[in-house]
Amino acid sequence: MPTPPPSPPPDRRPDEPTGRSAVRALLRLWPHVRPVRVRLFTAAFVAIIASCVGLVIPLVLKWLVDGPVAGRDTAGVWLGALYLLLLGVAEALLFGVRRWLVARPLARVEADLRARLYAHVQRLPVAFLDRWASGQLLSRGTTDLMLLRQFLAFPLTFLLVNGVTIVVGVVVMLLQDFTLGLVMLAPAVPLVAFSSVFEKRYARAARQAQDQVGDLTTVIEESVLGIRIVKGFGRHRSQARAFRQLSRRLRGTELRKARLLATIWAVIVTLPETAIGATLVVGAVQVADGTLSAGTLVAFLSTALALRWPVESIGFLLAMCQEAATATERYFEVLDAPTEDQQAAGGRTPVPTGGCRSRAVRASPAATGLRFEGVRFRYPDAPPGSPPLLDGVDLHIRPGESVALVGATGSGKTTLTALVPRLHEVTEGRITLDGRDITAMPREELRALVAVAFEEPTLFSASVADNVLMGGDGTAGTAELHRALAVAQADFVHTLPQGTATQVGEQGLSLSGGQRQRLALARAVVGRPRFLILDDPLSALDVHTEAAVEAALRHVLAGTTALIVAHRPSTVLLADRVALLSQGRIAAVGTHHELLRTNAEYARLMSGRPWAGAQPDGTGRGRPAKEAR
Ligand X SMILES: Nc1ncnc2c1ncn2[C@@H]1O[C@H](COP(=O)(O)OP(=O)(O)OP(=O)(O)O)[C@@H](O)[C@H]1O
- Interface residues with ligand X (CB under 6 A)? 130, 379, 381-382, 389, 407, 409-415, 455, 623, 626
| Span 586-605, contacts to Mg ion by CB under 5 A | none
Nearest distance, CB of residue 413 and Mg ion, angstroms: 5
Q: Where are the beta strands (DSSP E) in 389-519?
A: 390-397, 402-407, 428-433, 436-437, 450-453, 462-463, 503-504
Shortest spacing between CB 127 and ligand X, in angstroms: 7
The site partner of 415 among ligand X, Mg ion, none (C-beta below 5 to 8 Å per kind) is ligand X
CA distance 243 to 216: 7
CB of 574 vs ligand X, minimal distance in Å:
17
Q: How far is the CB of 141 from ligand X (least distance, A)?
A: 23
- The Cα-based distances of 571 to 55, 540, 550, 577, 628 in angstroms read 83, 12, 7, 12, 18
Q: How far is the CB of 414 from Mg ion (least distance, A)?
A: 3
Query: Least distance in Å: CB of 412 to ligand X?
Result: 4
Q: Pattern of binders to Mg ion over 209-228, x per CB under 5 A?
A: --------------------
250 in Cβ contact with 212 (< 8 Å): yes
Q: Which does 371 bind (CB under 5 to 8 A by kind): Mg ion, ligand X, none?
A: none
Residue nearest to ligand X (CB): 414
CB of 411 to ligand X, least distance (A): 4
CB of 407 to ligand X, least distance (A): 5
Sequence-separated (6 or more) residues with CB below 8 Å from residue 354: 373, 374
Residue 47, CA distances (Å) to 91, 109, 158 in order: 9, 20, 8
Cα 609 from chain centre: 47
Q: Does 411 bind Mg ion (CB under 5 A)?
A: no
Residue 586: DSSP 8-state: E
Choices 117-125, 130-138, 254-262, 411-419; region in contact with Mg ion by CB under 5 A: 411-419
- Is 471 exposed, middle or buried (CB count within 10 Å of its CB: 0-12, 13-18, 19+)? buried
Cβ proximity to ligand X: between 103 and 225 the closer is: 225
Neighbours of 316 (CB within 10 A): 16
Site string for Mg ion, 360-399 (x = CB under 5 A): ----------------------------------------
322 torsion bin: left (phi>0), alpha (psi -120 to 50), beta (else):
alpha
Quick one: 57 or 562, whose CB is closer to ligand X?
562
Segments in 290-307 forming alpha helices (H): 294-306
CB of 475 vs ligand X, minimal distance in Å: 33
DSSP annotation of 133 reads: -
The full 3-state SS of 17-57, as one line of letters, equals CCCCCHHHHHHCCHHHHHHHHHHHHHHHHHHHHHHHHHHHH
In terms of CB distance, is 293 or 409 closer to Mg ion?
A: 409
Confirm if 425 and 341 have CB atoms less than 8 A apart: no
Q: Pick what 123 binds: Mg ion, ligand X, none; C-beta below 5 to 8 Å, kind-dependent.
A: none
Nearer to ligand X, 407 or 527 (CB): 407
Q: Between residues 217 and 414, which has the closer beta carbon with respect to Mg ion? A: 414
Residues in binding contact with Mg ion, number by CB under 5 A: 1
Taking the complex as a whole, the smallest distance from the CB of residue 587 to Mg ion amounts, in Å, to: 17
**339-353 burial by CB neighbour count: b if 16+ within 10 A, else e?**
bbeebbeeeeebebb
Q: How far apart are CA 238 and CA 449, in angstroms?
A: 46
Indicate the residue among 368 and 414 with the shorter CB distance to Mg ion. 414
Q: How far is the CB of 128 from ligand X (least distance, A)?
A: 11
The smaller minimum CB distance to ligand X, of residues 417 and 561, is found at 417
In this structure, are residues 348 and 331 in contact, taking their beta carbons and an 8 Å threshold?
Answer: no
Q: Is 355 helix (H, G, I), strand (E, B) or coil?
A: coil
User: Which of the choices ligand X, Mg ion, none does residue 333 contact, using the CB cut-off of 5 to 8 A by kind?
Assistant: none
Residues 455, 417: contact at Cβ < 8 Å? no
State the nearest-atom distance from the C-beta of 524 to Mg ion, in Å: 16
- Contacted by 500, from ligand X, Mg ion, none: CB < 5 to 8 Å by type: none
Q: Which of ligand X, Mg ion, none does residue 560 bind to, with CB < 5 to 8 Å depending on kind? A: none
Sole window of 172-180, 236-244, 267-275, 414-422 interacting with Mg ion (rule: CB under 5 A): 414-422
Site mask for Mg ion (CB under 5 A), range 19-58, x = bound: ----------------------------------------
Of residues 289 and 381, the one with the C-beta less far from ligand X: 381
- Among left, alpha and beta (phi > 0; psi -120 to 50; other), residue 566 is beta
Nearest to 170 by CA among 277, 35, 275, 295: 275
The correct pick among 414, 427, 515, 619 for binding Mg ion (CB under 5 A) is 414
Say how many Å lie between the first and final Cα of the chain, rounded.
11
Q: Which partner in ligand X, Mg ion, none is near 473 (CB below 5 to 8 A by kind)?
A: none
Q: Give residues in contact with Mg ion (CB under 5 A).
A: 414
